[in-house]
Amino acid sequence: MSAETSIGNVRPLISAELSKVLLLAKSCPEAAQWTPSEFELGIGDVRGWVIGDTQILFGFLAVRVIVLAREMELLNLAVGPNWRRRGFGSVLLNTALADCRANGYQSIFLEVRESNERAIAFYKKHNFSVSGRRPNYYRNPDESALTMALHLSN
């Protein structure tokens, strides 16, 4: 699935772009800092998308599909500091939501640091609602997570 923007496009995340994704993630301290093996692209149920041009990535999103439950878990979403407030995060999220709907999944859920007010507001803007709280979920620094969910109607 491809979504055009004014200066980039969304495309599936492939292993050849992992080094760019890891570099982008390092510029976003609020993003989960994964190793290449944690992405496990093409193995099991993890998939992702990137947005950018041929030279630079503006952002990425990774999800895990839970087929039997007909759900998708948003694992990681990051837009580089120089590319924020331009709609790239929304384009990535809408791509994942379209994939979720196209595959007949009924909901998408995520965890977010309790202190990450900007991310919480972003997800609420996209109709996610707070569904719970996980004490001491994150490390470095230790912090609780809010769980958020969006239930889809197909």
Q: Out of 38, 123, 137, 143, which one is annotated catalytic? A: 123
Instruction: Please state the pTM of the whole predicted model.
Output: 0.85
Residue 4 lies in a domain: no
Structure tokens at 88: 């790239």
Residue 88 lies in a domain: yes
For residue 72, what pLDDT is reported?
A: 92
Output 54-59 pairs: Cβ under 8 A, ≥24 positions apart.
Answer: 56/20, 57/17, 57/20, 57/21, 57/24, 58/8, 58/83, 58/86, 58/88, 59/24, 59/83, 59/88, 59/89, 59/92
Q: Is 111 a catalytic residue?
A: yes
What's the CATH code of the domain at 50? Answer: 3.40.630.30
Q: Is 138 a catalytic residue?
A: no
Domain that holds residue 37: 9-151
| 88-117 pLDDT tens trace | 999 999 999 999 999 999 999 999 999 999
Which range among 5-14, 38-47, 59-68, 96-105 shows the weakest confidence by mean pLDDT?
38-47
Cα–Cα nearest to 93, from 112, 80, 106, 74: 74
Residue 45 lies in a domain: yes
Q: Out of 111, 114, 117, 143, which one is annotated catalytic? A: 111
